[in-house]
């Protein structure tokens, strides 16, 4: 009789352990899914933010290039004026 009771207790514990194990697996799977979704969202947000920053840098770089081109044009004009002054002086 005692062996029978120990077997019943062992079976009950095994069933309870199996139920707890399944429950834990489900919770871990759910948490993993939530983590994956959050990671995907944050990754997309970082990509978007990086794109915005790069657009800003590109715009500023374009402004620098444009300013440099204007300076070159101004120097060309000054050089031409100096050449015409040299012709008159010489």
Confidence bin at 86 (pLDDT 50/70/90): confident
Asked if residue 29 has pLDDT above 80, the reply is: yes
Write out the DSSP string of the chain: -HHHHHHHHHHHHHHHHHHHHHHHHHHHHHHHHHHHHHHHHHHHHHHHHHHHHHHHHHHHHHHHHHHHHHHHHHHHHHHHHHHHHHHHH-
Percent of the residues in the chain that have a pLDDT greater than 70, as a whole number: 99
pLDDT in tens, 30-41: 999 999 999 999
């Amino acid at each position: 009789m005692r062996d029978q009771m120990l077997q019943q207790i062992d079976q009950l514990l095994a069933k309870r352990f199996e139920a707890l194990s399944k429950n834990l697996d489900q919770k871990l799977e759910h948490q993993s899914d939530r983590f994956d979704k959050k990671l995907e969202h944050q990754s997309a947000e970082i990509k978007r933010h990086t794109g915005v920053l790069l657009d800003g840098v590109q715009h500023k770089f374009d402004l620098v290039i444009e300013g440099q081109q204007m300076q070159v044009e101004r120097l060309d004009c000054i050089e031409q004026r100096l050449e015409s002054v040299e012709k008159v002086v010489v």
